[in-house]
């Protein structure tokens, strides 16, 4: 019987450092006492109210694939403090015949006498987290009213000192003023963003050395600055909040719930300028809401820049497409890959006609069928070999567990060995996925007659349509020199 051990702590704080090891040892003791095999440990360092936990996601996925027989955790709160999430896990386990056990003796999905209590314990653990969350929010509201800035990152142009916002002694203050000035001159968000990118002005996320910082200014960042009331000197907090302890989606609070402290810090923008910008933003928003939906062009989501990989954007004034990255961020981000729609249409249509002519070979279908059968036989043999290797690795894991429990090897040696075996298993799994993908693509050959017939049927109209593109073309790449590379959906079919 294979055991999946789930371990979770909320933080890496000093007081919780020993907890993962304690939980792991309790699960190992259970495995030894019940003569089971360890499938794997699933470990998270995160709050139990969220389902966005990598360990939990992997646990649920493996449960759905019936990779193990039993899930063991120290107590139900380790698996989660979210009633809906815990019931989802319980449903998956029951559907797939996986048993769920907690070592405190309160939960066992195969013990009918304990099933009725599952919902009660789930509710207790979620309620406990909600009470803690409410107390923290209450403390924050008190600090908001005291005039203390409670965010971790100050608005662009300010620095944080002892809970107070102070002007930075650098270029960022002037950049904020320039953004407001440019907008009042009629510049749009994206145009201002391109202007700042081309001037090599570091983005706000780059300034704070954020790991995922973008190199380019975004129109959304500019808009956020234009709408931020902190720039007139007011401290405005409590504008957003999470829905509840189990739903981290942020909602904008009604303006009456905002906590505003007027003239709390030195302004960058005058109230008059700020109000003018807000009116202009609202006017443009109303105009946008009343607009018509943009039509989708022939090569939208089909043509891509060969250099940066971004989709090509249609521009009516050019009657063609340009690189989306260049359109948004300018020449600092990518070069001007551009092509007329009519030119691209003619190239694709001509290529499809040539391909249709090349498929006139009388024995083409039988030749392709022979190649596919040979490839299928080879792939089947490879899959069988991989499966034998997988079973061998699983046996090695079982033996390692026995040695660890018998103290023939140290915990470090056991962990290192299991990590190595797991890496090998993942590698074998990737090989299986690739082989199955090849087999699926080769299966398309059985439809080769239909492919040829459909292609000829489309071409008799001598017009390129979206239906033709969706049926035959995967994607199109455009180079700066207007060279075109076409990726066909049946490119992997043997013989084509």
For residue 108, what are the CA distances in angstroms to 34, 42, 67, 73, 117? 15, 19, 19, 11, 10
* Contact of 298 with 466, CB cutoff 8 Å: yes
Question: Which CATH fold topology does 158-287 show?
Answer: Hect, E3 ligase catalytic domain fold (3.90.1750)
Say which residues have a Cβ less than 8 Å from residue 176's Cβ, sequence separation at least 6. Answer: 156, 157, 225, 231, 268, 269
Whole-angstrom distance, CA of residue 132 vs CA of residue 138: 10
Select from 235, 237, 184, 228 the least CA-distant residue to 204. 228
Is-above-0.75 flag for pTM? no
pLDDT of amino acid 291: 47
Going by their DSSP bridges, the two strands 99-102 and 158-161 should be labelled as: unpaired
Q: What is the CATH number of domain 2-133?
A: 3.40.50.1390
Cα 390 to Cα 432: distance, rounded to the nearest angstrom: 11
Residue-level pLDDT, tens digit, the chain, 496 residues:
888 998 988 776 645 555 788 888 898 888 888 888 888 899 888 776 677 788 888 888 898 899 999 989 888 778 777 766 677 777 777 788 888 888 888 878 877 766 656 665 555 555 665 666 556 556 666 666 767 887 778 999 999 988 889 999 999 999 999 999 998 888 889 899 999 999 999 999 988 887 777 889 999 999 999 999 999 999 888 766 665 544 556 667 777 778 888 888 999 999 999 998 998 888 777 766 554 445 568 888 889 999 888 999 998 888 899 998 888 888 888 888 889 999 998 988 888 888 777 666 666 666 666 777 777 788 888 889 999 998 888 888 778 877 877 778 886 787 788 778 888 888 898 888 888 877 766 655 545 555 666 666 666 657 787 777 877 788 899 998 888 898 887 654 444 4
Q: What residue spans in the chain does CATH classification 3.90.1750.20 cover?
A: 158-287
SS3 145: helix
Instruction: Note the pLDDT of residue 111.
Output: 76
**Which residues make Cβ contacts (< 8 Å) with residue 212, sequence separation at least 6?**
205
Tokens of 214: 């973008």
Token pair listed for 270: 């005058």
Q: How many CB atoms lie within 10 A of CB 400?
A: 21
* Residue 231, pLDDT score: 95
Spatial distance between the Cα atoms of 38 and 3, rounded to a whole number of angstroms: 5
Q: What pLDDT is attached to residue 49?
A: 66
pLDDT for res 293: 47
Q: Do residues 130 and 244 touch, judged by C-beta distance below 8 A?
A: yes
CB 188 within 8 Å of CB 219 = yes
- For residue 119, the model assigns a pLDDT of 62
Q: Is the dihedral of CA 64, 68, 73, 76 positive or negative?
A: positive
How many residues does the structure list for the chain?
Answer: 496
Q: What is the pLDDT of residue 441?
A: 62
Instruction: Say how many C-beta atoms besides its own lie within 10 A of residue 203's C-beta.
Output: 19
pLDDT of residue 494: 41
- Per-residue confidence (pLDDT) for residue 316, from 0 to 100: 86
By DSSP bridging, strand 164-167 and strand 338-340 are unpaired
**Angstrom distance (rounded) from CA 311 to CA 299:** 9
Angle (deg, nearest 10), helices 364-405 and 411-443: 170
State the DSSP code for 238.
-
Residue 414, phi-psi category: left (phi > 0), alpha (psi -120 to 50), beta (remainder)? alpha
CA triple 391-56-424, angle to 5 deg? 30
Instruction: Provide the pLDDT for residue 492.
Output: 47
HSE of 17, CA atoms in CB hemisphere, 13 A: 3
Residue in 6, 189, 1 with CA at minimum distance from that of residue 86: 6
Q: Which residue has the tokens 């009343």?
A: 290
Residue found by looking up tokens 């079973």 in the block? 391
Start-end of CATH 3.40.50.1390 domains in the chain: 2-133
Q: How far apart are CA 142 and CA 354, in angstroms?
A: 74
Token duo for residue 268: 């960058």
The pLDDT, as a whole number, for residue 69 is 92
Alpha carbons 209 and 211: distance in angstroms, whole number = 6
How many C-beta atoms lie closer than 10 Å to residue 282's C-beta? 10
DSSP string, 321-388: EEEHHHHHH-TTT----EEEHHHHHHHHHHHHHHHHHHTT-TTHHHHHHHHHHHHHHHHHHHHHHHHH
Please give the backbone phi and psi of residue 48, each rounded to the nearest 5 degrees, phi first: -80, -5
């Amino acid at each position: 019987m294979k055991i999946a051990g789930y371990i979770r702590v909320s933080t890496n704080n000093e007081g919780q450092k020993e907890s993962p090891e304690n939980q792991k040892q309790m699960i190992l003791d259970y495995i030894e006492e019940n003569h089971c095999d360890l499938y794997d440990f699933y470990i998270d360092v995160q709050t139990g109210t969220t389902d966005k936990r990598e360990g939990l996601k992997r646990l649920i996925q493996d449960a759905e694939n019936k990779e193990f027989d039993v899930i063991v955790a120290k107590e139900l709160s380790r698996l989660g403090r979210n009633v809906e999430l815990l019931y989802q896990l319980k449903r998956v386990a029951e559907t797939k015949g996986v048993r769920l056990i907690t070592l405190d003796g309160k939960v066992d999905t195969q013990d009918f006498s304990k099933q009725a209590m599952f919902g009660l314990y789930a509710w207790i653990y979620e309620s406990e987290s909600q009470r803690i969350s409410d107390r923290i929010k209450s403390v924050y509201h008190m600090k908001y009213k005291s005039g203390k800035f409670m965010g971790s990152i100050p608005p662009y142009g300010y620095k944080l000192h002892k809970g107070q916002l102070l002007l930075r002694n650098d270029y960022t203050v002037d950049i904020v003023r320039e953004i407001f000035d440019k907008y009042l001159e009629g510049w749009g968000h994206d145009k201002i963003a391109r202007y700042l990118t081309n001037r090599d002005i570091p983005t706000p996320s780059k300034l704070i050395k954020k790991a995922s910082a973008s190199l380019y200014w975004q129109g959304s960042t500019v808009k956020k600055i234009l709408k931020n009331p902190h720039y007139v000197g007011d401290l405005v907090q409590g504008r957003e909040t999470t829905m509840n302890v189990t739903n981290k989606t942020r909602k904008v609070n009604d303006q009456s719930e905002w906590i505003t402290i007027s003239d709390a810090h030195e302004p960058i923008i005058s109230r008059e300028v700020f109000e003018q910008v807000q009116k202009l933003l609202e006017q443009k928003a109303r105009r946008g809401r009343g607009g018509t939906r943009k039509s989708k062009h022939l090569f939208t989501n089909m043509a891509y820049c060969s250099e940066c990989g971004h989709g090509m954007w249609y521009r009516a004034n050019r009657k063609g497409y340009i690189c989306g990255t260049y359109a948004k961020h300018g020449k600092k981000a990518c070069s001007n890959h551009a092509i007329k729609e009519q030119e691209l249409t003619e190239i694709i249509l001509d290529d499809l006609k040539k391909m249709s002519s090349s498929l006139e070979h009388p024995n083409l279908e039988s030749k392709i069928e022979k190649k596919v059968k040979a490839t299928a036989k080879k792939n089947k043999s490879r899959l069988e070999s991989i499966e034998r290797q997988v079973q061998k690795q699983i046996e090695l894991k079982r033996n390692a567990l026995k040695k660890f429990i018998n103290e023939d090897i140290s915990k470090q040696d056991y962990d290192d060995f299991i990590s190595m075996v797991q890496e090998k298993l993942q590698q074998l799994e990737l090989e299986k996925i690739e082989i199955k993908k090849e087999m699926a693509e080769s299966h398309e050959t059985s439809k080769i007659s239909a492919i040829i017939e459909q292609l000829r049927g489309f071409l008799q109209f001598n017009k390129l349509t979206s239906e033709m593109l969706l049926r035959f073309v995967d994607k199109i790449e455009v180079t700066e020199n207007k060279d075109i590379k076409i990726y066909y959906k049946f490119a992997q079919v043997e013989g084509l």
